[in-house]
Structure 1
Amino acid sequence: MGNKKGSRRRFGSVRQYRSGRWTAGYLGPDGQEYRSPETFATRRDAEIWLSQVEADLTRGDWQDPNAGAVNFEEYALQWITERDLSATTEELYRRLLRLHILPTFRTWDLDEMTSPRIRTWRAERLSTSGAATTIAKAYRLLKAILETAVEDELIRRNPCRIRGAGKESAPERPTATVEQVDALAEAMGPRWRLMVYIAAYGPARPEEQAGLRRLDVDLDAVGVWVRRAAPELTTGKRAEGPTKSEAGKRFIVLPPFMRKDLERHLKWFAEKEPNGLLFVGERGAPFRRSSFGRKWRRARAEVGLPENFRFYDLRHTGHTLATQSGATLKDTMVWAGQSSERAALIYQHSTLERQREVAAALDARVRAERARASGADLVRDA
């Protein structure tokens, strides 16, 4: 429509259309003319908008209104590519994008992703997926990507502004008793017996155990060196690399009763070359999550543990037993290879000697509970 009337101001100009609506325009610092993205009901509203733009220019906060016209999918995939992510983290991010974020935002530009639209997306994903923990992860990923877009000056502010949306509130994980750990080790069979005990009394992560080699075992000190991790990807391949954090590189002092299990496993099941893998399958290949998982589910059912008891819960069991055996927070952090900024505030040095004390206390507790369960001291000479 043609203009009904217009006027010049010190900064920019406003015009009224024949419809009665008002528009505003100005010259940007790049010499290009920019117009308001929408019309206004009154002249005053148009002038207020111009005043806000002028204030942004004065403060140095002005951004090209067209800068956010960048496709979200292209930006998000480039965001992942440019980061030095571990194989498992990259796999997780791409899965979260594919399953939970891109189905909604694939064709949108960055400047179209507003707070109301993100609230709607989150509510829909929570309702249809029922996976609150996964959606919290997806929200954190989306927020991180858009925060980088703010730093790149493609959008003015991050539209992910839902308080607590990225927080995971997983239920308390179950633990096993000493008797149940022994029963699981027995049910898993001789080849996997040591893995159960290291998970419970290490407590090492599954990917850390997958990376253990013959040279990492110290029979004299009764323990293992964790120097690397080998998580399994969805393709079935293991991506051997660094541990989850620097704190993950550690010597795990095991309870003394595990010396015999270490000796037997090295003799019977570990690869024979000096740097051979500690845990391999029946056919001599690195163990697979699928075949190991079938054995685990059968053993879990045989022992009578609930279906939601995961192999990883043996690690939680180890934490609990160590604490009950006198370990402090700093002891368990060193023992389990945990590290975070929040925990670092209260972290103090835990010496190797202190780790031996924790392992000895755990050894005494396990022996006592085994004796109590059997009615006799069956492990005196173990």
Structure 2
Amino acid sequence: MAWVEKIAQHSWRVRHRRDGGVVESLYGFRSADAAQEVAGMLDGDRHRSGWSPLSRDRAAAITLADWVGCWWPTLDLDTRTLENYRSYLRCHILPRFGTLPIEAITPLDIRLWSTEALEAGYAPATVGGWKNLLSMIFTDAVDEGLVATNPVRKHRRRGRRSRHLRPERIWATPEQVLAVADQAGMLGGPTARLLIITAAWTGCRWGELTGLHRDNIDLDRGVITIDTWQGALHESNGKRWIGPPKTASSARRIHLPPFLTELLRQHLNTHPYEYVFTTESGTWLWRSTFTRRILRPAADGNPNTAHPAVRTHPTCPGLTFHGLRHSHNTWLISDDIPEIARARRLGHHTDNRIAETYSHVSGEIHQRLLASLEHRWHTANTSTSTEQQTDPFTPERSERPAPPAHCDGVSPAGGNTSTMDTTQEPAHTVCVGDDGDHDRAAALVPAVTPGRIPARRGTDRHPSRRTRTPLIGKRDLASKHSIINTKIALTEADWRDCTLAPIGSPNTHGKRLDHRSINALPAAS
């Protein structure tokens, strides 16, 4: 006979007598009803395929790894989900519990395991994913009669208050998106630029755009169709294939603003491949490759990269491709677009069941939505064009500067350049501010950032100990506008290993070079 005992405020146990008179206890019941149900199963009051003392003897010889081997073939899930589950089992669950009998794993073991993982630095969401998978495994084990209860439970109001704050996703303004897209175009070509613009002005996911077929674009109507069965590009375990989008609600039609329709039309007129966004050879894009080679340098810049093919500047550090989707929704919120229209455009369901059932997107809302996106495009283009006209340091393909000719035909050491000693490397002089007023001359003075200086035989190999010609500044007080004649004398080797940097960058002596520091320099001899 089995009976129930309360052992704590919210904890019960079931006790029963096995053959031979041995009393056995089952712990972990959060309610008396759950304990009574198991007690009834033990007594045979409820006849169903549940746990029994006979199945306990059977479970004593079955380890968790054995049960997972039987349980795994029954799963019918997405390929990427199976890859994640396989990784969880291989790296975290089976190394800890794989050799234990399935009945020997207790709720205390699960709590200790999850606590150690959190202390090791794993994110709560990551540990939660492991526990969810383990809970699925034990739930099916309960149905098979291998264990009485599932040891994986959520314990509320236990432990310290969580101080973990999820960081907000970085989003970009239309001006920032255009800046990122322009730099991406220099890194990956016009297709990369158009891909970022399309993602920001449609809210599509990565797979929905990279798997977009030409047949799913109607430029006459200005509509993109995300197909129900062939609507997204999937990647997993080094393989790619076209399949359904993320959710059933992701299959949708997205109306395009007029400017984007025209950009896509121009792109497809010169694009010979069947998919809209591909590599130059027509193959599908890899997400990791695009992120590493194009998106990260375009958003974060590459100021610390030595001699890149394209020098880029930080425009929106930390922006991800999914952040463009967040940006799109943020713009629509700012333009007072209703929630149901935003959910339909992004391929989501709303939590409000009444709004989900009875709300619809009218033609007026569509027109207002497209008009707001069109306005943001033209405003961002105007702002970006103005900034590029005023900012001389726009992204460009970096080239090592060639040694300039002498400004006055006189070598830094004095005398004519034609009589310079040819046994030494010729020195070159950059002259700045030969005409113009003080502010204009100071704004044109570039700082010189030393690169890696190659060591030469017979010289000190430490860059800081090499002899350099000092920076000489001379201010002509007789001039009406106080002209500055600044000369920077560098050797041939210096020019090969130096790049011009904007105002305020460290110069060869580790100082800031601007009009204040120029005025403080000693007069030229």
Conserved? CA contact 1:184–1:303, under 8 Å: no
Q: What is the CA deviation profile of residues 16-67 of structure 1, one whole-angstrom value per residue up to 9, with x for unaligned ones? A: xxxxxxx98545xxxxx795458xxxxxxxxxx9xx9578415427523235
Q: What is the CA deviation profile of residues 42-94 of structure 1, one whole-angstrom value per residue up to 9, with x for unaligned ones? A: xxxxxxx9xx9578415427523235443323433544432221111111221
Cα RMSD of the aligned pairs, angstroms, is: 3.2
1:277 is the counterpart of 2:287: no
1:95 is the counterpart of 2:87: yes
Q: What is the CA deviation profile of residues 163-210 of structure 1, one whole-angstrom value per residue up to 9, with x for unaligned ones? A: 479x99632101101011111111121011221122212111111112
Greater fraction of residues in strand: 2
Residue identity in the other structure for 1:122: S
Which moved further from structure 2: 65-74 or 367-376? Answer: 367-376
**In the alignment, which residue of structure 2 is the partner of 1:288?**
286
Greater fraction of residues in helix: 1
**How far 1:152 moved relative to its partner?**
2.9
Conserved? CA contact 2:51–2:145, under 8 Å: no
**In the alignment, which residue of structure 1 is the partner of 2:116?**
124
CA spacing shift, 1:305–1:220, aligned 2, 3 Å: same
1:177 is the counterpart of 2:173: yes
Residue identity in the other structure for 1:211: G
SS of alignment partner, residue 240 of structure 1: strand
In structure 1, how many angstroms separate the alpha carbons of the residues matched to 2:236 and 2:371? 36
Residue identity in the other structure for 1:316: H
In structure 2, how many angstroms separate the alpha carbons of the residues matched to 1:24 and 1:214? 68
SS of alignment partner, residue 252 of structure 1: strand
Conserved? CA contact 1:334–1:350, under 8 Å: no
**In the alignment, which residue of structure 1 is the partner of 2:296?**
297
Residue identity in the other structure for 1:158: N
CA spacing shift, 1:73–1:253, aligned 2, 3 Å: farther
Q: TM-score, normalised by structure 2?
A: 0.57
Which moved further from structure 2: 193-202 or 242-251? Answer: 193-202
**In the alignment, which residue of structure 2 is the partner of 1:211?**
211
Residue identity in the other structure for 2:338: T
Which moved further from structure 2: 144-153 or 92-101? Answer: 144-153
Where in structure 2 are the equivalents of 1:1-382 lying within 5 Å?
25-26=17-18, 35-36=22-23, 56-60=42-46, 63=52, 64-69=55-60, 70-163=62-155, 170-189=166-185, 190-227=190-227, 228-235=231-238, 237-269=239-271, 271=273, 276-293=274-291, 294-300=293-299, 301=301, 302-305=312-315, 307-339=317-349, 342=351, 344=353, 346-348=355-357, 349-351=359-361, 353=363, 354-372=365-383, 374=385
Residue identity in the other structure for 1:118: I
**How far 1:375 moved relative to its partner?**
5.5
In structure 2, how many angstroms separate the alpha carbons of the residues matched to 1:364 and 1:77? 58
In structure 1, how many angstroms separate the alpha carbons of the residues matched to 2:94 and 2:354? 37
Conserved? CA contact 1:214–1:270, under 8 Å: no
In structure 1, how many angstroms separate the alpha carbons of the residues matched to 2:330 and 2:262? 24
**How far 1:117 moved relative to its partner?**
0.4
CA spacing shift, 1:24–1:149, aligned 2, 3 Å: closer
Q: What is the CA deviation profile of residues 236-290 of structure 1, one whole-angstrom value per residue up to 9, with x for unaligned ones? A: x11321111110111111222212221122123351xxxx111211222111123
In structure 2, how many angstroms separate the alpha carbons of the residues matched to 1:55 and 1:277? 59
SS of alignment partner, residue 89 of structure 2: helix
CA spacing shift, 1:281–1:35, aligned 2, 3 Å: farther
SS of alignment partner, residue 224 of structure 1: strand
Larger Rg computed on CA atoms: 2
In structure 2, how many angstroms separate the alpha carbons of the residues matched to 1:320 and 1:164? 34
Q: Which has the higher contact order (CA 8 A, sep 6+)?
A: 1
**In the alignment, which residue of structure 1 is the partner of 2:418?**
none
Conserved? CA contact 1:150–1:157, under 8 Å: yes
Residue identity in the other structure for 2:178: D
Residue identity in the other structure for 1:57: D
Conserved? CA contact 1:326–1:361, under 8 Å: no
SS of alignment partner, residue 335 of structure 1: helix
Residue identity in the other structure for 1:212: L
Q: How many residues align?
A: 333
Q: Structure 1: where are the runs of 5+ without partners? A: 1-10, 13-22, 28-32, 39-48, 377-382
Residue identity in the other structure for 2:177: V
SS of alignment partner, residue 231 of structure 1: strand
CA spacing shift, 1:361–1:81, aligned 2, 3 Å: farther
Conserved? CA contact 1:100–1:135, under 8 Å: no
Q: Percent identity?
A: 28
CA spacing shift, 1:371–1:110, aligned 2, 3 Å: same
CA spacing shift, 1:34–1:156, aligned 2, 3 Å: farther
Which moved further from structure 2: 309-318 or 298-307? Answer: 298-307
Which moved further from structure 2: 224-233 or 137-146? Answer: 137-146
